[in-house]
Amino acid sequence: MELISDGQIIIDTALDNTGLQSGIKELDSIANKGLKGLVDKFSSLSPAAKATTASVSALVVGFKAVHKLGVTALTEVTGVLKNIGSVALDIGGQIWDSLAQIGGIPTSIGDIISEYTSYNATMKEVQAISGATTNEFQQLLDITAKLGRETQFTATNAAEGLKFMSMAGWSAQESIAGLPSVLR
């Protein structure tokens, strides 16, 4: 059975809007070329065609205004997301620094790997000594994780307690029931 440890999640808030801006510029260029062709063709036809040309020209002006607003909004959203990411990283750093000052909490990658390795090794010993079934072993994993969160002891400390209880002849079920009392 493979054990899973908590990790760190990093969220990258940088947005690359160059493709979007390039696409909008290309649409704008196509619209301008098409408009010029329409104006040239319709201007020579009739007064109704001239009115249609004026309407199309107004639509293109509106499109350009919407384009400008879209680019401005996208730029502002990108800036806001960058600020949010920066604040989140700063808060994460402050929490990490606070944990380091508390002590007893692994705060370096080496400490975390060492704690995980020690926990894994101890739980494998518990499984071998206790003869726990797959279901019982999952319950043992669950109780050590729970007590590691809810008591002053780490999950590794709880696993070591289980190891000694198993060596003393306690069954897996007796260890599951008795461990909370032993640790408190």
Q: Does residue 114 share a domain with residue 98?
A: no
Does residue 40 lie in a domain region?
yes
Same-domain pairing of 98 and 118 = no
Q: Are residues 127 and 73 in the same domain?
A: no
**Domain containing 119: what range?**
109-183
When pLDDT is averaged across residues 101-129 and rounded to a whole number, the result is 78
For 101-112, what is each residue's pLDDT tens digit? 555 555 567 777
Residue 80: predicted pLDDT: 79
Whether 80 and 86 have beta carbons less than 8 Å apart is answered as: no
Average pLDDT over residues 47-65: 75
- Burial grade of 175 (CB within 10 A; 0-12, 13-18, 19 or more): buried
What pTM does this model have?
A: 0.44
In sequence order, the 6+-apart residues with CB closer than 8 A to the CB of 63 are: 28, 31
Let me know whether 113 and 146 are in one domain: yes
Q: How confident is the model at residue 121 (pLDDT cuts 50, 70, 90)?
A: very high
- Give how far Cα 104 sits from Cα of 27, 111, 123, 153, Å: 60, 10, 20, 9
Residue at 109: amino acid letter: I
How far apart are alpha carbons 147 and 151 in whole angstroms?
A: 5
Q: Tens of pLDDT along 6-40? A: 455 555 555 566 776 777 777 677 766 766 676 66
